[in-house]
Structure 1
Amino acid sequence: MLPRLYEGQVCSIARALEVVGDRWTLLVIREALMKTRRFEDFRTRLGIAHNVLSDRLARLVEAGVLERELYQTRPDRYEYRLTPQGLDLWPVVMSLLMWGDKYRSPDGPPLLTRHHGCGGELTPSFTCDTCGASLGPMDVELLPGPGAA
């Protein structure tokens, strides 16, 4: 397995990759942005192994990207919610989504990004293509697109 640290790199990209750069991590964040909260829901939606998901969630909590919130006792069960730091990853995830739609989605986008206010589409400048409003994570809903399985 490759190391997660980029020691000796004085680079903000390398430091960011130490948090979000391994396999599955950005997909866990994508799911959290889509309001997935519970362990089993992450596991079901991602098709990820239990141990891998446990590791990614723990790392994201430790890094301050997610926070755990107890919702049940006996046994203790937690929900995972994005922190402000995690919400700040929204433009990164949306940029990757749009890049993937453009270059890696021959059947069309699997997800459509729609402005809650008017139904317009998210643009690469994070505005609505219909009304021109600046959009953030609370302004956009993700809906199944033509490329969805």
Structure 2
Amino acid sequence: MKRAGPADTGCPVLRSLKHVGEGWSFLILRDALAGATRFDEFQRNLDIAPNILTTRLKSLVESGLLERRRYSERPPRDEYHLTERGRDFKPVLHALLAWGNRHLAPEGESVVIVNRETGEQAEPVMVDRRSGRPLSDPVFTNAAGPAANERIRRRYPSMNQFPQHREAD
């Protein structure tokens, strides 16, 4: 029997891709983060077939990234609003935008992130909240977390293999 995709191994990257890894889902979330809420807005912005949009919106609702709210009974019409989980996707989208501008836009940046208060262009970088260091620093690596299964523990070192920061007594 042929599998539809990779088996769930407990990997957070794989689990994330199962919810948002399809291209239309990324674009719907991009537009939702920019303020789109209605079916016709998504359809117009994305030039997407209605049946595909219906399927992707349903999937994003089931994944807890969007919630559907009825705004008209006759005819029945719904809006799609980001949930907290959906709003938390914004830095992921910004990281992908920055990576695409840096590596896949030989003609130059077509979309940039701008500070509304200053008008300055932002330079997105993911940082560790505790140290303030960029996650691209070679000091950071992946490690098996507390809930890691055997397969993940074989692939990544344990957190216990690294020096532990201890607070002063």
Sort the TM-score into its range (normalised by shorter chain).
Answer: 0.7 to 0.9
Distance 2:31 2:72 in 1: 21
Specify the alignment match of 2:65 in structure 1: 65
Provide the residue aligned with 2:35 in structure 1.
35
Aligned to 1:137: none
Q: Deviations over 1:21-45 (max 9, x none)?
A: 1131101100101111110110110
2:17 aligned partner, one-letter code: L
CA distance in structure 2 between the aligned counterparts of 1:6 and 1:18, rounded to whole angstroms: 9
Amino acid at match of 1:43: Q
**One-letter amino acid matched to 2:92:** V
Q: Distance in 1 between matches of 2:99 and 2:77?
A: 36
CA displacement, residues 99-130 of structure 1 (integer Å, 9 cap, x when unaligned):
11112222222212111121122222269xxx
TM-superposed CA distance for 1:72, in Å, is: 1.2
Give the AA of the match of 1:55: T
> Could you tell me which residue of structure 2 aligns to residue 93 of structure 1?
93
Alpha-carbon distance in structure 2 between the residues aligned to 1:8 and 1:126 = 26
Which structure would you say has the larger Rg?
2
Structure 1, 114-123 or 35-44: larger mean CA deviation: 114-123
Identity %: 38
Code of the aligned partner of 1:16: S
- Structure 2 CA distance, aligned partners of 1:82 and 1:55? 17
8 Å CA contact retained: 1:27, 1:46: yes
Provide TM-score, normalisation by structure 2.
0.69
In 1, Cα distance between the equivalents of 2:126 and 2:33? Answer: 16
TM-score, normalised to structure 1, is 0.78
- Is the contact made by 2:69 and 2:78 (CA closer than 8 Å) also made in structure 1? yes
The correspondence of residues 39-58 of structure 1 with structure 2, limited to 5 A, is: 39-58=39-58
Q: Tell me: CA distance 1:105–1:8, structure 2 relative to 1, closer, same or farther (3 Å).
A: closer
In structure 1, what is the Cα distance between the partners aligned to 2:12 and 2:6? 11
Long gaps (5+) in structure 2: 128-169
For residues 36-61 of structure 1, give each alpha carbon's deviation from its aligned partner in whole angstroms, at most 9, with x where no partner exists: 11101101100111111101100000
Contact 1:113 1:121 in 2 (8 A): yes
Letter in 2 for 1:118: T
Provide the aligned length of Structure 1 versus Structure 2. Answer: 125
